[in-house]
Every structure is written in C-alpha cells, then in structure tokens.
Amino acid sequence: MSRKRLYSALALLALVTGCGSNAAADNAAKLSLDAPLPATVPDGAKIVVGDPATEVALKLSGQYDKVSKFVQFANLSGGPQTTEAFRAHALDLGSVAEIPPIHATWTGLQVKIVASKFRKDPLNHPIYQLGIAPGVSVKTLGDLRGKKIAYSPGQAQGALVLKVLQKAGLTKEDVKLVELPSTGDVYSNALSGKQVDVAPIGGVQIKRYLTKYGKDGATTIPHGIRDDAGHLYGPVESLEDPGKAAAIRAYVAAWGVAQDWIDKHPKEWIQGYYVKDQGLTEADGQWLVDNAGHPDIGADWSDAIERQQRTIELLAKETGNKVIQAKDLYDLRFQTVAADAIKGDAK
C-alpha cells in the first residue's frame, strides 16, 4: 500500500469509527496496566484490528460472529502501516513480526504485545531464506563478505540481515547494505536485476524466485537463525480503556483458536485463504502450508522475551538507539489467554 493510500485509509477509518483509539478512554476511568483484564466486553465497545489473515480464518472456522459485534477489521498489516495507524489513533491492534514493537517504542509510541505465535521446529521451518542473485556465488554465510545485501531498517528482514552478519562474524563494514523496502516483489526483482547480490525472501516468494530464475543460476541458502516470531500488539492507550481491553482479550482468545484451526484444516485454509482470498495457486498454497510447519502458541513468554532482548541489544548497537527492556514490551496479563482458549476449544 502506498503512503498516500495508507493515509486515505487511516482518515476513512477515523471517520467511520468516529474516534481514535483513545476516544473512549477520554470519557472513562483508565484501566491500570497491572489491573486484572475485564472478562466481559461491554455494549458499545469497539476495537479496530489490522489482522487480515485472521479475519479470513475466523470466517472460515465459523468463529467470526464471536467477535464481529465489537471488532472492525482494517486491511492493514506490517510494521510501517500499523505504526502510522497507531499514530493516527485509527487502530487498536496490529499483526506484525518481531521488530515493529521495538521500533515503535524507539519512536516514542507506547505499545504492548498481547499475543505471540512461533513455529515448532523453527530452524527447519524458517520464514525467510537468503536469496542469491543469478551468477553470484554464496554457499555459506562467510561468503557474504563484500556482497551487496538488501536491507530494510525497522522491519524483520532488516533485523535478520544484522543477525546473519553477526552469526557470520561480519560487520556492516564488511558488506554493502542497500536500503530497499521489503514489500511485494521488490527483493526478488532486485536480485534478478543484479541490484543486490543477496536478499532475505520469504513465503511464496522463495518458491517463485527459484522457479523463475533458478534456470539462470538463482539460488537460496538457509540462514540458520530463528525468524518465526509473530505478534499482536497495540497502543497502551487502547489497553487503558476498560472496554477496549476486554475486547482485545476476547479477540486474542479468538485469534488463538483461529491459529489452531488453520493448523488442523490445511485444505480448507489453502482454498479459502491462499486461493480465494490471496489469488495464489493451490500448489503455492500447499507449498506455504508444508513449509510453515505447525504453530507454537504457548502460555509462557519467558524464552521469547529473552530472544527479543538479544535482538534489541543487537539493533541498539547497530542503530545507535537506547537499549530497552524486552519484558516491558509485553503485557503479561495476556500471556495465557490464547493458549487457554485453544485448550478450552478442544474440550
């Protein structure tokens, strides 16, 4: 989505909802961030959620009616879009990878993670691989020295590049980082056009890149680093609104059940989401399901917080930002909500 279209979408959202994320909070007592989460969503409570994939999953699984009374979905996802929407007070919850909550905090936004999803056996089911341009010889991470590498600051792919360099014992000075947005086909096109030698590519882009350019010598190599974090996060001001906090809690529960449904109904998910909603082929959808493995939604975020702290320290060193505490990014009141909902749904 272009920046102009994004601003238009945000303006429309604010008009339709008749509020920003903080409007209701202005008229009611704030909920302390250490107070118990309200268990019942009050009449009139509304939240705007940027989580398009889960919207489809809720409809396919028959759960949509459980949240439709208090959830309005926005066709927004990813760090830059959700950050802009939070700033415009037009979004209460967004679906992102590991990095956006960190960068949002560094830019002065107060946000909290309320749900986390990972992959079982993550090193064998990574989200990204390192795409190698045709004619470029990179067999190991050590071969990255001197190469032009696509880099997107503030996004998961950018952080992954820094982690890969660290693992290879290299610094930014040992390579040439080429700043490019990581949206759509940008990285694949940059590789095929020899604009860069290496770029992290993910999802169906991996399959398509190799299919289209493999005959010309294009390859991919694994990076061997966990890249499987997925979060729901939102502005603190929404969590301080008792009605919104209750709605967010209910949505996180439904989100958890939806992720479990996706895992247990791969054929329905391929047809309903990848084919009908995303316009992919059935073969592409099957490839994505096969390579995603199975979701890991636990009730203990301790390990995730430790990994995120290491990411923060690396990014702070490379970007000059202040080291923040990963534990402060998480609202631990939500730690068991999704996992408990999955268990309850299975009974």
| Rounded-to-integer distance, Cα 327 and Cα 316, Å | 16
pLDDT at residue 43, as a whole number = 96
pLDDT at 346: 67
CA 263 – CA 257 distance, rounded (Å): 10
Domain boundaries, the chain: 3-121+228-346, 128-221
pLDDT value at position 13? 57
Q: What is the CATH number of domain 3-121+228-346?
A: 3.40.190.10
E-strand ranges in 137-225 read 148-151, 176-179, 198-202, 219-221
Tokens of 145: 């020295």
Report the chain's C-alpha Rg in angstroms: 20
Q: Which two tokens stand for residue 266?
A: 């791969």
Q: Is residue 224 classed as helix, strand or coil in its secondary structure?
A: coil
d(CA 51, CA 33): 23
- Cα separation, 102 vs 267, whole angstroms: 35
Q: State the fold for domain 128-221.
A: D-Maltodextrin-Binding Protein; domain 2 (3.40.190)
Q: What is the pLDDT of residues 8-25, one digit of tens each?
A: 455 545 544 544 445 444
Query: Terminus-to-terminus CA distance in the chain, angstroms?
Result: 41
- In this predicted model, what pLDDT tens digit does every residue of 291-347 receive, in sequence order? 999 999 999 999 999 999 999 999 999 999 999 999 999 999 999 999 999 999 765
* Model pLDDT, residue 154: 79
Show Cβ contacts of residue 81 under 8 Å, excluding neighbours closer than 6 positions: 1, 6, 50, 94
How many angstroms separate the CA atoms of 151 and 313, rounded? 18
Question: 321 vs 4, which has greater pLDDT?
Answer: 321
The domains spanning 3-121+228-346 and 128-221 adopt the same CATH topology: yes
Token pair, residue 335, equals 């730690």
Closest CA to 319 of 96, 87, 106: 106
Predicted TM-score of the model (pTM): 0.91
Going by pLDDT thresholds of 50, 70 and 90, the confidence category of residue 251 is very high
DSSP 335: T
Q: What residue has token string 């699984």?
A: 61
Amino acid at 65: D
Give the C-alpha separation, 62 to 58, whole Å: 6
Helices then strands (H, E): number in the chain?
15, 11
pLDDT at position 77: 83
Mean pLDDT of 134-157: 95
Measured N-to-C along each axis, helices 204-213 and 282-292 cross at an angle, to the nearest 10 degrees, of 120
